[in-house]
Structure 1
Amino acid sequence: MRLLLACAVCAALVAVDVLARGVRLRCLLRGAGHRLRLPALCESILFGDAAAATTPMRLGGEPARWLGLMGGGVPAGVGAAVLALEMATYLSIVALSGAAAAWTLGGAWWAGVGPRLAARAGDVLPWAATVLVASVAVWTWVRRRGRSASTRPEFAAVRGVLGWPLAAAVPLTLVSIAARLGMLPVLAQTLPEPPPMGVLVLGSFALVYGQLFFPTPGGAGAVELLAAAGTAGELGGSGGAVFLAWRAVTTGLPVVLGYGLALRRYGRAAVRGVLRGQRPADVTPSPNAVEPA
């Protein structure tokens, strides 16, 4: 498979991921009594991805999506509650999926990459300790900023989310996870001798979800170290091009689309406030974002 074709397939997987999350958020909002158009929700999701990828500890991600909900007329407290429930569901399914993947593929993965990781452990430890200290410091700062910028979630107003919308969120989340994890294996098929699929899937899981815990925007540096250490297996001499393409489709494409759409829809001042981790100011609801009853 040519790299250009693989990138096109990965761009389609990005679209599948965003659509699955958009439908999931739409279902949860309907359970809370609000009907927003799918394109508007997808725009807010892309903006959230862009803001999360470019701010420390993903500080801007939730305010960005929150801004999108408020632009559709969702009250601030209700939007906060829906996003909190969505995040709790999402993280639970990611954790269970990771445990299942590790249980079924962990042995083969360790046999393929374990010796290389063990050999590089001594070189990585000082850097990993630095990342850990920085993560604690940034996380503390983010929590303090969050207290001053947060709105109390109105969970009592979203009890309807706990029925069919929450049930529908499970398969949609699995579709999103599968789309994200599939990008690295697709790109690896451009190599003359790609690593085994099990190694690629677990390596992709580590690269995609491991960056959520690093303080730098997009896990920059930390994710590159994981790739260089062979987390996704031995990629050979063409591995640099594969990883660069992976970075472009998983981070670069959402950043370009997210900020482009956000600047057009919300304006520069709102985008600047989100990047600072600030609570979105009152937003005039857009009739184009609301779905007809």
Structure 2
Amino acid sequence: MLLASPPASVAAITPVAAFRGTVAYSRYERGAYALILRRDGHEIRARTAPRAVPFDVDLGPDGRGVTVAVYSRCATEPAYAGTGAVTYPGGGSAQGCRAVLYDPATARERVLTDGYLPAIWHTTLVYARPDGLFARVDGRTRRVEDGGGRAVERSGVDVYGTHVAVARELDLRTELVLTGVGARPRVLDARDNGISTRFMRFPGFSAGRLRWADTCAGDPAGCRRRLHRYRLRDRTRASTRSPSAYLTGYAVDGARTYLVRAREDAWGDALTDGCPCRVTR
């Protein structure tokens, strides 16, 4: 993610979101995470309260077509498991979470519903809760099937039209699932892990394509450095080499790719371990 030249750095792990020229990420300062928005070379700190963990932020158009940010706020934050991303519900530690919308034009935040990992596309809001994945379309809430299972951790959700992508973690298995409102889920990528763990993370739609990245934990010998692309129109898939198996953020906005990369090829027990993280495009 190119925020400055030379590449910038952040003091702790953060995901990144990008949409129509706006980039969002979290900055760790004074023991908390602030939400940062950047557009046209200008960095703005959102006028909203910080969090104890990085924001699970998504950018997308609201019902007017205006770019807004959605994220969660939790009474008790999810625990970090030391694998390069905050997952929800964090082994049940995330409690009292609500999905909220932040409008950069008005600098105001409003609560939308109970849940976390929200994603927005016009009048559709997708979000997760401990009992599953849901979509609110034009005010009506429906369950979205993503494969079910007990003790599911989710690290990322995105929506594009009626398409929904979910990054899931179940015990030793990791999955990238494509589903949708009223659709049957399809597993596009999966691995049953052992000594090394390959995560499929940072699902995001851009220009009719779904993208995600491989990240690693444990023995790096069993990991891959790949960035994946799936075209919705004809269901074709391709991949390219990733600059690192230890990414904390990945997003694509048109012709621009944004990456947040850990300093070292390892994760630690704290969100600040392995950082400052390099922010490159």
TM-score scaled by structure 1? 0.25
Mark the structure with the bigger radius of gyration: 1
**Higher-strand-fraction structure:** 2
Asked which structure has the greater RCO (Cα within 8 Å, sep 6+), the reply is 1
TM-score scaled by structure 2? 0.26
**Higher-helix-fraction structure:** 1
